[in-house]
Structure 1
Amino acid sequence: MTLLSAPCYHWSKLLAGNTKGGSLAHFFFLRGVFSDVKAEQAQRDRIRTVAERVARSYGLDIFDVQFRRESHGWVLRVIIDRPDPGPAAQAGDAALDPSGDSIGIAECQQVSQDLSAILDVEEEALGLSLPDNYTLEVSSPGLDRPLRHPADYRRFTGRLAKIVSREPIGGQSAFAGRIEALESGPDGETVLLVEGRRTHRIPLVKVSRANLDVEF
């Protein structure tokens, strides 16, 4: 099983093309159809609900759902993930193994096929507006996956990470090191990042972006 930073499976359908398996699939042309931000968010929420239903059937979670217009057209990108193994599993050596959470090509393919079929059948019931051209990508979060929630820092304790803060902390705004712990306090949660002999204390509320660093 391989962990990929690039999409591990692509499902595309063009107006003049054929879909795999003979089923007609679509991409959600949200921008331009829905100028109301709330309406667009509602559409995205409906799609995520369906994607979560499909992912759960394979014992997986949805990490993110994105809609973007790229050079080759509109893309619906669904990123699947394994569920958080919990504190007991994280306490073992497996927490330090970057391959332990790997998502395989077969899993991306299964989710892509099922999601495409369900969205086609339930388009009207979901209240979606679907054009004919789309690219549906199902992928893993990648080796350098983003860290967005407190649970992410707990899950990947012991792993190398890069963090950029919204404002300087101790005269520094870019950090790289190993996640030692996530502490809770009256002012919120703080990640402890060990860089050599230094331990940086970075409040999560001050984190602009963070991601795992690739280990070899």
Structure 2
Amino acid sequence: MAWQDTVEQTVTGLGFDLVDLERSAGGLLRVTIDWPWVPTEPGQSAPEERFVTVEDCEKITRQLQYLLEVENVDYRRLEVGSPGIDRPLKREIDYVRFEGQVVDITLKEPIGVTGADIAANRKKFRGTLERAADGVQWQIVWSDAPEPKPGQRVSKKRPPVPMQAMAFALNEVQQARLAPIVNFKGRRAPAVDMGDDGHAASNE
């Protein structure tokens, strides 16, 4: 079994979702976890959001340290944490969960000539994530018009800002993340960094 499968099975076996898994050249293994998300049925109220705690990260870390040693995985440091404000979107359910949010999308290939006022070599976009009209693909909606400056009065007679939309399939995406917009209503738990001494230290 590949070590990536070991990590995923361990995380999901303890009741969490594996959001992301990175291995750096310096020997760092970074594991990002979250509580599973379940879509609510129409008419039902959304359950209270659960946040990953330092204790959750420590529990995952202890189990992974043991299993990675059994699998003889070579690494220098293991870091387990919760998603930040720039959480990656990798699965279809991630897009469903964060529909309507502002996201940053990087395509694998330039968009090419579309007939719209978009540079053919453009690959990066920021806008609102929406389901496309076909109900299968996704689209990102944005405006390249400059936003009003703080305190600037906007006339009611001002014409609507022109919007642009780009549909895409998930296999065309190189990277997708929530746009790092600060939300002061909540705060994620810090990551837990297990150093060479085996003790946990939170990364603020």
Q: TM-score, normalised by structure 2?
A: 0.61
**TM superposition shift of 1:157:** 0.7
Give 1:177 deviation, angstroms.
Answer: 1.6
How far is the alpha carbon of 1:211 from its aligned partner?
0.9
Per-residue Cα deviation, 1:40-59 (whole angstroms, up to 9, x for no partner): xx5xx3x2333334323432
SS at match of 1:167: coil
Point out the structure with max Rg over C-alpha. 2
When the two chains are superposed, the root-mean-square deviation of aligned CA atoms in Å is 3.0
Q: 1:108 aligned to 23, 43, 57, which one?
A: 57
Matched, 1:117 2:66: yes
How far did residue 130 of structure 1 move?
Answer: 4.5
| Contact kept? 1:181, 1:192, Cα under 8 Å | yes
Structure 2 equivalent of residue 213 of structure 1: 179
CA contact (8 A) 1:167 1:206 kept: no
CA distance in 1, matches of 2:95, 2:36: 14
In structure 1, how many angstroms separate the alpha carbons of the residues matched to 2:59 and 2:25? 25
Q: More relative contact order in 1 or in 2 (CA 8 Å, sep 6+)?
A: 1
1:177 lines up with 2:127 in the alignment? yes
* Of 131, 142, 145, the match for 1:195: 142
From 3, 7, 15, the equivalent of 1:59 is 15
> Structure 2 stretches of 5 or more lacking a match?
144-161, 184-204
Q: Distance in 2 between matches of 1:201 and 1:149?
A: 19
Whole-Å separation in 2 of the counterparts to 1:108 and 1:183: 40
Q: What is the aligned counterpart of 1:155 among 97, 119, 129?
A: 97
C-alpha displacement of 1:176 = 1.5
User: More strand by proportion, 1 or 2?
Assistant: 1
How far apart in 1 are the matches of 2:24 and 2:49? 30
8 Å contact 1:153–1:182 — kept in the other structure? no
Instruction: Measure, in 2, the Cα distance between the counterparts of 1:100 and 1:143.
Output: 15
Q: Which amino acid aligns with 1:162?
A: D
Q: Specify the code of the residue in structure 2 equivalent to 1:167.
A: P
- Give the TM-score normalised by structure 1: 0.58
Q: Specify which structure has the higher proportion of helix.
A: 1
* Total equivalences in the alignment: 154
